[in-house]
Amino acid sequence: MDRLTAEERIRVLREQIEKHNRLYFIEDRPEITDQEYDMLMRELQDLENLFPDMVTPDSPTQRVGGEPLPFFEKVEHKTPMLSLGNAFNEADLRDFDRRVRQIVGNQPVRYVCELKIDGLAVSLHYENGVFVKGATRGDGQTGEDITQNLRTIRSIPLRLTRPLTLEVRGEAYMPKRAFEKLNKEREERGEALFANPRNSAAGSLRQLDPKIAASRSLDTYIYGIGDLQGETVESHSEGLNLLESLGFKVNPERRVFDSIDDVIEFTNSWTEKRPQLPYEIDGIVIKVDSYAQQQELGFTAKSPRWAIAYKFPAEEAVTILEGIEVSVGRTGAVTPTALLKPVSLAGTTVKRASLHNEDIIREKGLLIGDHVVVKKAGDIIPEIVAVLPERRTGSEVPFQMPTHCPECGSELVRIEEEVALRCINPMCPALIREGIIHFVSRQAMNIEGLGEKLVAQLYHEGIIHSVADLYYLHQQREVLLQMERMGEKSVDNLLAAIEASKENSVERLLFGLGIRLVGAKAAKVLAEHFGHLDAIMQASEEELTRIDEIGPKMAASIVNYFALPQAQAVVERLKAAGVNMTYKGVRIEGGEDLPFAGKTIVLTGTLASMSRQEAEEKIARLGGKVTGSVSKKTDLVIAGEKAGSKLEKAEKLGVAVMDEAGFLQMLNERSTP
């Protein structure tokens, strides 16, 4: 066959195969037999073998999985993949509806209800209609590039029906039948079984060998648009229809409602019907349909105000409390954990449940040997909800909290106004070990490959004694190579991840240090305000409490921490190792000279020239703070098109209002030398 004829035949075969993929995997109405499909695929493979330069990333033959990867690259999400707030009952849903209507005022509100697939959230990127990249959600800001594994999922189109450039979000999952088949095969091979379809889907997509992912029969449902170029949609439901027309698999069980009563009825109906589905769901996602209203509602630090996840009532089971063990966390808090007779609950085997503190044990009246009722809060965290004293036989015994630290033997103390017992020995092995585990975690320095077990091993063997020692591990490469499960590639990847973490913005380091009461958000506020770790270390309690988000207790905790010689020594070693100490985000410069310095600003309506996120960033650069609702404390409202209740409220309260043209003029004046 000559080259031109082969090129045309390859084009036709690809179109036919993608059409039949769509009919079979998305629309569930196949038109040809499996044998006929296999013949088309074989012919395409033969032609591509003859003309290898004609193989393209969107060819159906590229779904089988390529060569194993050495590690997963990091992917920064252009728009954060935020988690959703949860609702557990009708009252929570009505409260969500009340908050929405409070902000949007008298505008009619429509809600889109979708089944919440219990899988792994993924982001898919397309350029001119061709699939180019796929990533996990990760921590919401940064995920992992799993493009090769996602290519193996037949319901993900490699080429769209139109050449659009966009990013979409969806859920990758393992159907129940595929999960049962996989576990049966593993059982026959004597391998450990997967606990549930969600874990097996996540594990499959995080395999470095794409051929393993290809063998797992994964599927997807796409539920949203992260970014779209060259086309406009006005609502979430319209966006879902667009995605369907482009060839994505969108869940058909979605519904649009005008009232919260209909939403509640929908959630109740699926509470009963969910076992009938061929895949697992753990709730219903409810979203405000209008994109303009979504923009008006905005976001909290963790989740959108325009969406909520209704979680089905937790499954409960009765088991026996066989014992209670205590562990010491990075802050020294001693936490009891219930050891349970293994019981199946919500698709997993539960052996442990958190008891939080001694007071919980006392309040519940727990005795070792009791029959207890266990549930999974939000289908995730096991907890003991009730004791069954009527089943006692007299052999049950009370539990006594230890008086001394189980790790270092120091006397435990109860700090005033706290319920937790604490070990206050700064040299306690548990505090140091757990502190290092926190330091390398995702929200902190995010060092890939440094899990709890490896940190514990490194500490136990005396290779590391503090977080600073991590940055000198390259000097002990030969020692690392002698450790269990640490080959050349593993050690090189670990050292590369440690080296890369040196470039993190300083808020990650600050959070990673584990200063009591300083969470990730407070760390960012401090980093943005001071710009450098040295300035934070030198700040007084008075200087710290001048910052809105920093209270007296947190300020005292920060000052006390950096007064410790051990903390100062760790920071100096981190500096010497080349760890970044500066804030790399947008920092407000110019202080009181900025036009919005110290002002509280509310955005309402739609801006034609920029997105809401861009507007918020520009306001921050000008010294302003954006809030979601208008009050007497609001200094200015910036109103775009279709401004609603917020504009009306501003006019009633006499709050100053600026239109988009005025805002743009201010931005231009500021940027003009």
Determine the number of helices (DSSP H) and then strands (DSSP E) in the chain. 24, 22
DSSP per position, 96-140: HHHHHHHHHTTS---EEEEEEESSEEEEEEEETTEEEEEEE-TTS
At 119, the amino acid letter reads G
Nearest to 27 by CA among 255, 254, 278, 249: 249
Per the DSSP assignment, residues forming a β-bridge with 638 are 603, 658
Length of the chain (residues): 673
CB 350 within 8 A of CB 340: yes
CA dihedral of 244, 247, 248, 250, whole degrees rounded to 10: 30
Helix axes 552-563, 565-576, angle to 10 degrees: 70
**Phi, psi (rounded to 5 degrees) for 332:** 90, -5
252 CB contacts (<8 Å, ≥6 apart)?
none
Query: Measured between alpha carbons, how far is 520 from 271 in angstroms, rounded to an integer?
Result: 35
What is the distance in angstroms between the CA of the first residue and the CA of the last residue of the chain? Answer: 66
Tokens of 379: 């289908």
Residue 224 main-chain phi, psi, to 5 deg: -175, 165
Residue 217 phi, psi (nearest 5): 55, 45
Count Cβ neighbours within 10 Å for each residue of 52-73 and write b for 16 or more, e otherwise. eeeeeebbbbbbebeeebebbe
Residue numbers annotated as active site: 116
CA 417 to chain centre: 33
Q: Is 70 left (phi over 0), alpha (psi -120 to 50) or beta?
A: alpha
Tell me the C-alpha distance between 218 and 205, whole Å: 9
Number of neighbouring beta carbons within 10 Å of residue 270: 19
- Burial grade of 545 (CB within 10 A; 0-12, 13-18, 19 or more): middle
Contact at 8 Å (CB) between 310 and 269? no
Phi, psi dihedral angles at 215 (to 5 degrees) = -85, -5
